[in-house]
Structure 1
Amino acid sequence: MLDPRAFATALAVFCWLASGAAAAEFAPAAAVAQSPDAPGDQGMLLVGRYAGKCVAPAGESAAAGARLVQTTCFDRPAMSWSVVAATGGSRLVNRASGLCAVVVGGSSADEAEVAQVPCAQSGASGLWTMRASDDWVVFASVQSGKCLGVKDAGIEEAGPLVQWTCVDEPSQQWTMSGPGAPSSWGPKIAMPIVPVAASTLRNGKVLTWSSWSRFQFAPDLGKTFTSIFDPETGTATEKLVTNTGHDMFCPGTSLLADGRILVTGGESASKASIYDPKTNKWFATGELNVPRGYNGDTALSTGEALTIGGSWSGGLGGKIGEVWNPATGTWRKLKNVSGDALAADDPLGDSLGDQHMWLFGADDGWAFHAGPSAEMHWVDTAGKGRIVEAGKRGDDTYSQNGNVVMYEAGKLLKVGGAPSYQVAMATSSAYTIDFSRGPWKPVKVAKQKPMAFPRAFANSVVLPNGEVVVVGGQSFPITFTDSHAAMLAEIWSPKTKSFTRLAALSTPRNYHSVAVLLTDGRVLAGGGGLCGDDCDANHPDVEILTPPYLLNADGSYAARPTIVKAPKKATWGETIEVRAEGYASTFALIRLNAATHSLNNDQRRMSVKVLSADGPSFRLKMPKDRGMLLPGDWMLFAMTDKGTPSVAKIIRVQ
């Protein structure tokens, strides 16, 4: 959902391009000026495209002479700026202090620092021109002709802003992020464990688990701490699972056709376990032929489950595909489906390139492989299996610890990631991938406007209206740290193909964090860490986002429809009768799913066709594509014409 104010701001900033001005030229910003007192003008965040941090006075000071630095972004006045027209250029005015950004001493030297002073005293050293692209802007001092950036292209907190000779690099490029959409995070809620994995259950509660310890992993002790979180009461019930002999840290996950959750590999690399939400019990299923951890799994249209890759545990390489049979509980090798063939070369080592594969079940037992490698593939799970090349993900590169979510049948949004598992700059790029035409047909890839914040180790959650919330992550991913965290969430709209920022998290959600959709349409985010009792990055807690579609423009709660009656089961192409009150007009299905390590392959959304509506009575046509509408439990949401969703009813597709 794009806030109208954000759109107006962006349009004003970039409208001079439409006049025929070349993108390589600098232009006085008179045409893009914003009055600091204009009605509804809340200013903009200036987000560094490289480090993902915001411009603010040091310590968020309101004092004249305070140096400008880069700092972790929040929606605070000291980080908000207006571009104000002036003779010969424009001035950057801080919303909190009312002071203007100037080059200190009117210097023309490289690395001259930038500070805030009273605008009446800013003179020529406080005049800036702008060069804009579709995605970012560059500010150049009118006096010196040099560009605004961070000293030494640094990425650390409180790095000073300076001017230096203009270069075509992200360290001198800024995203102008307009006012965020209405949204809010609830209070932080303590959990008994660090929730490294999470799955929304059909009763609205959330299953989470960690490792043999509540707060750390390794060695393999064959047991796992789990917890059931109740969003209604804000309480969690802990359970230590020992009967399966399985430490379920760093596994693959699949939601099965009968509503159970399959967990494969991980710390106990050969084990596979199943959770039954009907009985709240765990039990072992057949062991893997190939031990693995950090593997990618997906449910299949046949009711089976596929796993590939996972050299984190069980030895390096050779992680061929395997298919789990629900009738026998055993695994069948796919000798012609090599995890190595689907992997990428990670600069940090061979154990990392075949991990966290983005796999999506499709028709006739096929699966689509979207990455993290730049090359995409189709996987046929029949017989010994086979791999069919599906082309590259546009101009995107290897994007480990980015993530992908299906926002409509056969259509994926891919966001973020980094060119190595960690210790590399993350990307803010986004792409849509359309594989809806199936195997052997061309896959369509389209580049989207980027996020405001580079992110790896983030999580993405699709909403009933087709928008996608992106939560947490780091601009420079490092495991078990809170550094370089993206605190502001973002939301992507399939209508505008762009992102709008949302409210800020209370806690960094980086490595080992999760995010899932709740049955009431809110988003739960939590975890991070699992690095020991004394680790500052340990976050045994969760928080819940109220997205924009649940709020009015003034922040009050929007009226929601209610599904009074819906069938408990349905099949492909069936016409179902649903009773929904409260101005319901559209419907969507979202599959129950499980998230861990920025991976949520079972997450998918599908629109539902309304055949007829008579008051509160609706006749809906279930999708007939078995490859998209995988068997299993789905959340059915009714929505108003503004996209405000009901609480979901669960329908089992079989």
Structure 2
Amino acid sequence: MAAETVGRWSQPFELSNVAVHISLLPNGKVLYWGRRTDPKSTDPATFDELWTKAFVWDPATKTSIPTANEPLGVDGRTVNLFCAGHSFLPDGTLLIAGGHIKDGWGVDQACVYDPVSNRFMPKVRHNKGRWYPSVLTLPDGRALVISGSYDQSYTVNNIPEIWPADNGAANPGAWIEVADPLNQQGPVFPLYPRMHIAPNGRIIVVGPLAQSWWLDIKDPVTGADIVTQVGGKSVVGRWVDAQTVRKAMFRDYCPSVMYDTGKLMYIGGGLTVESDPGPTNEVEFLDLNQPNPKWTNSPSTNMRVQRRQFNATILPDGTVLVNGGTKGPGFNDVSQSVHLSELWDPVAGRWSDMASESVNRCYHGVSLLLPDATVISAGSGEYGGVGPDQNMTNAQIFEPPYLFKGGSRPTISTAPSAIVYGRDFTVTLGSTAAVSKVSWVRLGSVTHCRNMNQSLMFLHGFRQNGTTLTIPAPANANLAPPGHYMLFVLDNRGVPSIARIIRIASTLPRAEDSIPDAEPPSCTTYGADTTPVPEREPSPSAQPTLTERNQKITASQSRPPVVVGLTPACPYGLGPCWGGAYDALRNISDIEIVCPVPDQADSVAFVYPKERDCLPDIDIWRGELTKVVNRSYEMRGIEITLEGVVKSENGELSVVGESTGGRTVVLGQFGEGSQIRWDIKTEKPREVSDEETAAYERLTEAVGKREDSGEVSVNVTGTLQKGCDGGFSLDVREFEVL
């Protein structure tokens, strides 16, 4: 089809690495980095390099130069920023939270990239490591960091933090502790949570969990931080159930987008339980301008193609481009990559097919809006079950249909470099052609299907007098957090200008604080910054970590937990990929307590049922878990410890007692089919030991020796099975004669 209908993709061109992380800088250039120095290497050791080679790409010349230094920690050692989170601060620097030691094990270092010096600067360390965290710049200029996993335990970091507004080198500041959602009966958020700012200044987390949550940082009356004292320390913020749940439930590896002021869309992702086991094509909408916003969905607003591992990019005219991803089952099926792009038109309320990209863009692919109103698509690969041939070091440019309408584009001849909230500002146009819309798009910062900096609003009420356009600035920082934005003007055909990048703040910045349009310094070799930086240990958190919460729960219980075998679709194991499973287990009607830390090594979780003296119904548990998370987790089985009297009849053992609810449970031998513990490396159940397979025989022998003396009481532990007749049996893994 013609480019004026479906747009056009450029031929692929090479970058200097797989662009897993990509950000549009205030000078119009693009910062990016990947996982390792050589993405084509087959050496497994290279996947865990502890340094970062980052580059700055110039859209005008399509060439890359390296950054002037490698990111450093406060101890002077290099760090790997792969799987970090990032968002722009008000001064145009990029805050980067966390990074990579091993898959699921995040570094506790934070740093800032300065586009003026083209250098990374170390900042104060996090309370714990963060691998896959999200970062959101707040209306007051601070930055919120949530989630990420840490340490060799791969435990999720449940304690959010705020980076202070004053982040200059002379005052490195300190992280501000934010309330743990668990304090308000909230969730353990999954990795890379989707966060947005509502027009009233509240933060909302809309995914991957089905249920949305508000985070209130400020008191709506006083405007001051909401502060509570925990253990003699101040903790900021309050979590509130948003009382709305997405119909398609848990959905990961997909984008959420604020495509207009307060208007969100959550697109595709997850893994369905329908006949086609791939991701969904459902799109759900949430209007934060409403007093009690609720998620809505209509089949007419769904994408034509189901997909996950893809990106969504807001265009200057308010449409949303979706590209890349896979429609196949599992985590990252590149054999079913989606090359067709789609475009959402919020005015018409429909999707349109766009041109097809020529390269697979799946896991670790990125897309970013550029100032010339085109979109760069890059990356994909660097694990997720693919080999080096799928590690894409190239990029393509998408030219949307509005660039093929013929005639000249509107132009902006002059514009201010900085503006102030609530005040009009003036730009000069290149012609007197009528302007139909003015859009205001925040500079993007993208990784893992998430543009953490992306938002668009239309600046209504502008006035045109010939080539002079007077535009009302955004009214307040809730609508547009302080920082740098692309200003586009669109003509009556919907064709956008090339953007001017403008900074907005409460007051006009000093000249020395502005980001110049000059070239960043060139550099041909990497050199570590030798400037000494004082190392500061992170302060102990006032709130307990998940591990500490776990210890408290297990210490308070006099009964053994029920062990639940869970396999996540995520390849990194149950520890870092825990949030969705934790939420789903809490929604199982029979479960009272879910221990907040799973066993990463065996891929099992620990729960305590509401009724102490009943048998868990595995069919009900599996059904209720699947209802929440679809196919994102598989419940392999449950292991339970029963106390009761063993009976022997016709050579078959059974047990009955209070813990069985008075029901007779037939005992059997533990075998390969009984194993619920999982080996993530082999992607198979763990091997069953000789001791485990012999447990039933040894129990039979022990009961035989004791039968003459009366009833034999035992504790038996093993995998609970439910037969077609509704009866229960237990494959004995270990036992204790009481």
Q: TM-score, normalised by structure 1?
A: 0.67
Q: Residue 371 of structure 1 corresponds to which residue in structure 2?
A: 207
State the SS of the aligned residue for 1:610. coil
Give per-residue Cα distances to partners, 1:479-513, cap 9 Å, x unaligned: 56522111011100011111101111110100001
What amino acid sits opposite 2:420 in the alignment? T
Change in Cα spacing, 1:394 to 1:183, as seen in structure 2 (3 Å) is same
Q: How does 1:256-271 map to 2 (within 5 A)?
A: 256-267=89-100, 268-271=106-109
Checking the alignment, whether the CA contact within 8 Å between 1:300 and 1:366 is kept in structure 2 is no
Q: Residue 123 of structure 2 corresponds to which residue in structure 1?
A: 285
Q: Is the aligned partner of 1:243 residue 2:67? A: no
What amino acid sits opposite 1:596 in the alignment? T
Q: Residue 293 of structure 2 corresponds to which residue in structure 1?
A: 442
Give per-residue Cα distances to partners, 1:621-649, cap 9 Å, x unaligned: 11213212110000000111121111100
What amino acid sits opposite 2:176 in the alignment? R
Residue 312 of structure 1 deviates from its aligned partner by 6.8
Checking the alignment, whether the CA contact within 8 Å between 2:204 and 2:213 is kept in structure 1 is yes
State the SS of the aligned residue for 2:155. coil
Change in Cα spacing, 1:379 to 1:250, as seen in structure 2 (3 Å) is same
Residue 424 of structure 1 deviates from its aligned partner by 5.3
Q: Residue 334 of structure 2 corresponds to which residue in structure 1?
A: 482
* C-alpha separation in 2, matches of 1:364 and 1:218: 46
Residue 220 of structure 1 deviates from its aligned partner by 4.5
What amino acid sits opposite 1:585 in the alignment? S
Unaligned runs of 5+ in 2: 101-105, 167-171, 218-224, 228-234, 506-738
Residue 443 of structure 1 deviates from its aligned partner by 4.1
Change in Cα spacing, 1:443 to 1:368, as seen in structure 2 (3 Å) is same
Q: Residue 550 of structure 1 corresponds to which residue in structure 2?
A: 403
* C-alpha separation in 2, matches of 1:232 and 1:302: 34
* C-alpha separation in 2, matches of 1:391 and 1:558: 49
Residue 242 of structure 1 deviates from its aligned partner by 4.5
Q: Residue 56 of structure 1 corresponds to which residue in structure 2?
A: none
Change in Cα spacing, 1:490 to 1:212, as seen in structure 2 (3 Å) is same
Of 141, 155, 158, 1:319 maps to: 158
Of 54, 59, 66, 1:226 maps to: 54
- 327-336 or 588-597, which moves further after superposition? 327-336
Checking the alignment, whether the CA contact within 8 Å between 1:211 and 1:223 is kept in structure 2 is no
Change in Cα spacing, 1:227 to 1:502, as seen in structure 2 (3 Å) is same
* C-alpha separation in 1, matches of 2:265 and 2:426: 31
Give per-residue Cα distances to partners, 1:319-364, cap 9 Å, x unaligned: 22111113244211113334996657xxxxxxxx611210113467
Q: How does 1:516-595 map to 2 (within 5 A)?
A: 516-531=368-383, 535-552=388-405, 557-582=406-431, 583=433, 584-595=435-446
Q: Residue 23 of structure 2 corresponds to which residue in structure 1?
A: 199
Is the radius of gyration larger for structure 1 or structure 2?
A: 2
Change in Cα spacing, 1:545 to 1:430, as seen in structure 2 (3 Å) is same
What amino acid sits opposite 1:243 in the alignment? L
Q: Residue 167 of structure 1 corresponds to which residue in structure 2?
A: none
What amino acid sits opposite 1:378 in the alignment? W
- 586-595 or 530-539, which moves further after superposition? 530-539
What amino acid sits opposite 2:321 in the alignment? V
* C-alpha separation in 1, matches of 2:483 and 2:91: 6
Checking the alignment, whether the CA contact within 8 Å between 1:342 and 1:373 is kept in structure 2 is no
Q: Residue 111 of structure 2 corresponds to which residue in structure 1?
A: 273
* C-alpha separation in 1, matches of 2:97 and 2:37: 19
Checking the alignment, whether the CA contact within 8 Å between 1:321 and 1:338 is kept in structure 2 is no
Of 164, 175, 181, 1:331 maps to: 175
Checking the alignment, whether the CA contact within 8 Å between 1:579 and 1:617 is kept in structure 2 is yes
Q: Residue 617 of structure 1 corresponds to which residue in structure 2?
A: 468
* C-alpha separation in 2, matches of 1:257 and 1:276: 12
Change in Cα spacing, 1:193 to 1:275, as seen in structure 2 (3 Å) is same
Q: TM-score, normalised by structure 2?
A: 0.59
Checking the alignment, whether the CA contact within 8 Å between 2:194 and 2:205 is kept in structure 1 is yes
State the SS of the aligned residue for 2:389. coil
Give per-residue Cα distances to partners, 1:256-295, cap 9 Å, x unaligned: 1111111111215201111111111111111111212111
What amino acid sits opposite 1:255 in the alignment? F
- 323-332 or 631-640, which moves further after superposition? 323-332
Aligned residues: 463
State the SS of the aligned residue for 1:609. coil
* C-alpha separation in 1, matches of 2:330 and 2:151: 20
Checking the alignment, whether the CA contact within 8 Å between 1:254 and 1:602 is kept in structure 2 is yes
What amino acid sits opposite 1:241 in the alignment? E
Of 263, 280, 287, 1:427 maps to: 280
Checking the alignment, whether the CA contact within 8 Å between 1:321 and 1:339 is kept in structure 2 is no
Q: How does 1:37-56 map to 2 (within 5 A)?
A: none
What amino acid sits opposite 1:523 in the alignment? V
Checking the alignment, whether the CA contact within 8 Å between 1:564 and 1:580 is kept in structure 2 is yes
- 388-397 or 638-647, which moves further after superposition? 388-397
Of 405, 410, 418, 2:257 maps to: 405
Of 7, 10, 13, 1:189 maps to: 13
Q: Residue 210 of structure 1 corresponds to which residue in structure 2?
A: 34
Residue 367 of structure 1 deviates from its aligned partner by 1.3
Q: Residue 157 of structure 1 corresponds to which residue in structure 2?
A: none
* C-alpha separation in 2, matches of 1:340 and 1:533: 40
Q: Residue 301 of structure 1 corresponds to which residue in structure 2?
A: 139
* C-alpha separation in 1, matches of 2:201 and 2:317: 28
Residue 418 of structure 1 deviates from its aligned partner by 0.8
Checking the alignment, whether the CA contact within 8 Å between 2:443 and 2:484 is kept in structure 1 is yes
Checking the alignment, whether the CA contact within 8 Å between 1:360 and 1:602 is kept in structure 2 is no
Of 175, 184, 194, 1:358 maps to: 194
* C-alpha separation in 1, matches of 2:249 and 2:494: 34
Residue 569 of structure 1 deviates from its aligned partner by 0.8
Q: Residue 47 of structure 1 corresponds to which residue in structure 2?
A: none
* C-alpha separation in 2, matches of 1:535 and 1:652: 40
Q: Residue 457 of structure 1 corresponds to which residue in structure 2?
A: 309
Give per-residue Cα distances to partners, 1:429-482, cap 9 Å, x unaligned: 112211135xx7434534452111111010000011100000100112555652
Checking the alignment, whether the CA contact within 8 Å between 1:194 and 1:210 is kept in structure 2 is yes
Checking the alignment, whether the CA contact within 8 Å between 1:318 and 1:339 is kept in structure 2 is no
Unaligned runs of 5+ in 1: 1-41, 43-74, 76-178, 345-352
Q: How does 1:130-209 map to 2 (within 5 A)?
A: 181-209=5-33
Q: Is the aligned partner of 1:651 residue 2:484? A: no
Q: How does 1:10-25 map to 2 (within 5 A)?
A: none
Give per-residue Cα distances to partners, 1:30-62, cap 9 Å, x unaligned: xxxxxxxxxxxx8xxxxxxxxxxxxxxxxxxxx
Residue 180 of structure 1 deviates from its aligned partner by 9.3
* C-alpha separation in 1, matches of 2:215 and 2:348: 32
Change in Cα spacing, 1:366 to 1:449, as seen in structure 2 (3 Å) is closer
Checking the alignment, whether the CA contact within 8 Å between 1:408 and 1:604 is kept in structure 2 is yes
* C-alpha separation in 2, matches of 1:436 and 1:307: 25
Residue 391 of structure 1 deviates from its aligned partner by 2.5
Checking the alignment, whether the CA contact within 8 Å between 2:198 and 2:479 is kept in structure 1 is yes
Change in Cα spacing, 1:180 to 1:401, as seen in structure 2 (3 Å) is farther
Q: Residue 513 of structure 2 corresponds to which residue in structure 1?
A: none
Change in Cα spacing, 1:333 to 1:420, as seen in structure 2 (3 Å) is farther
Q: Residue 690 of structure 2 corresponds to which residue in structure 1?
A: none
Change in Cα spacing, 1:273 to 1:477, as seen in structure 2 (3 Å) is farther
* C-alpha separation in 2, matches of 1:592 and 1:558: 28
* C-alpha separation in 2, matches of 1:561 and 1:486: 34
* C-alpha separation in 2, matches of 1:309 and 1:338: 13
Checking the alignment, whether the CA contact within 8 Å between 1:481 and 1:537 is kept in structure 2 is no
* C-alpha separation in 2, matches of 1:221 and 1:242: 13
Residue 545 of structure 1 deviates from its aligned partner by 0.1
Checking the alignment, whether the CA contact within 8 Å between 2:244 and 2:293 is kept in structure 1 is no
State the SS of the aligned residue for 2:334. coil
Change in Cα spacing, 1:412 to 1:312, as seen in structure 2 (3 Å) is farther
* C-alpha separation in 2, matches of 1:264 and 1:187: 34
State the SS of the aligned residue for 1:293. coil
